[in-house]
A = this chain, B = another copy of it.
Amino acid sequence: MSGLTIHKGQNCQFTQTLAPMKRNNRKEAKQTVFFTNPVHIVTANAVVGNKEAQGPLKGYFRRIKEDIKLGEKNFERAEILMFDEAVRTAFNEAKPIVGDVQLLISGDLLNQMTTSSYVARNLQLPHLGVYSACSTYTEALSLGSVFLDAGHFDTVACATASHFATAERQFRYPLEYGCQRPPYAQWTVTAAGCCVLSSKGTGPLIKSATLGKVVDFGQNDLSNMGAAMAPAAMDTMCALFEETGLQPDDFDMILTGDLGKLGSDILRDLMREQGYTLGQNYHDCGCLIYSVDQNCYQGGSGAGCSASVINEFVIPRLCSGEYRRVAYLATGALMSTQSCYQGETIPCVSHGIIMEGE
């Protein structure tokens, strides 16, 4: 971590200071878990809103909601329905190949992860709620892979969702306020993604999971998530390269979750300081999903952002053999509105996985 100091934020005015705990250096602080048994991505899909369907990836999204309220009374219910459709579609597509899903691991951005729980109550199967904001999807994929690799289940589903209107209301301002957005803001993606992993069947393999540390560089602007999350992405990406022994060039694609344009530029700089040059194979899901003329400023964000891009754009390319190896590091900002109002900075995390074609 030469040249960079991870601190806990300048505005955090605890009467009693929480000192960082002294730990061994990275060599002993292992973050990567390797899967020796097959963990196939059997099926993956996403349900997206109309704005996402008009972006650069419009040719890839198959399930599109023109009305992002889905005919419901409120956006929260629309998010539940969208999540439910993604989950059921994945379950139904997987069933002829690997049978019934045995465990659902999911989460979302809303307080107490209600979207996820309200979908799970109709599924009658074990459910684990996980939360790491927009990194929830890679956390779920990591845990699902651990369960399958260990032989506890044969088939596990991982899912996440976000919705522009519910996220704006909860984290910033209700849409009706008509607030102006700063140029460094991102646009929460309206999308739900679900994939089914199995130790049986066929499909791309999850080879390893690098579990992220919570990192806080002192950013405290609720609109500038990219700058807050870039250091977390850097931290996990370094661990991923170091612990797998792979270099940036060994991947057909290196994808971060939703740093956006500004955040991914910062990440390139941070990685350069660490001795890694991210080349043309580095992309960010937040940058891929919207075009400049869609007025989304720095790009997309939200737990559904990388889930939809990975599920509908990247995994099919791994299936077809176009890509052989992909690193996918979703990134999450772990603040709440209350913590920010109380003067706290924004801690972030990034969990990364490596996927390979069969």
Contacts and interface: CB of A to CB of B under 8 A. Distances in A.
Given A111-B112, A114-B338, A342-B74, A211 B127 contact: yes
A15 B73 contact: yes
B122 A107 contact: no
A38 to B, nearest CB: 15
A105 to B, nearest CB: 10
A120 to B, nearest CB: 4
Contacts of A150: 146, 149-150
Nearest to A71: B15
A81 B13 CA distance: 12
Given A118-B347, A347-B120, A76 B342 contact: yes
Interface in A191-240: 211-216
B15 A72 contact: yes
A39 to B, nearest CB: 12
Interface in A2-48: 6, 8, 13-16, 18-21, 23-24, 28-31, 33
A170 to B, nearest CB: 8
A123 B20 contact: yes
A216 B347 contact: no
Contact of A213 (B80, B81, B126, B146): B126
A243 to B, nearest CB: 11
B122 A21 contact: yes
Interface in A111-168: 111-114, 117-133, 139, 143, 146-147, 149-150, 152-153
A214 B117 contact: yes
B121 A8 contact: yes
Given A100-B24, A102-B30, A81 B18 contact: yes
A172 interface: no
A70 B16 contact: yes
Contacts of A77: 14-15, 342
Contacts of A112: 109, 111, 131, 133, 334-336, 339
A91 B21 CA distance: 10
A31 B126 contact: yes
Given A23-B125, A80-B18, A91-B21, A338 B146 contact: no
A72 B343 CA distance: 13
A84 interface: yes
A95 B256 CA distance: 35
A110 interface: yes
Contact of A29 (B124, B211, B212, B339): B124
14 contacts: A8-B121, A8-B122, A14-B72, A20-B122, A21-B122, A21-B124, A23-B123, A29-B125, A114-B336, A114-B344, A117-B335, A117-B349, A118-B347, A127-B213
Across the A-B interface, the 3 shortest Cβ-Cβ residue pairs: A126-B211, A117-B334, A120-B214
Interface of A: 6, 8, 13-16, 18-21, 23-24, 28-31, 33, 70-74, 76-77, 80-81, 84, 88, 91, 100, 102-103, 107, 109-114, 117-133, 139, 143, 146-147, 149-150, 152-153, 170, 211-216, 334-339, 342, 344, 347, 349
Given A112-B335, A146-B150, 11 more contacts: A8-B121, A14-B77, A14-B81, A18-B119, A77-B342, A103-B211, A112-B133, A112-B339, A117-B349, A120-B347, A128-B211
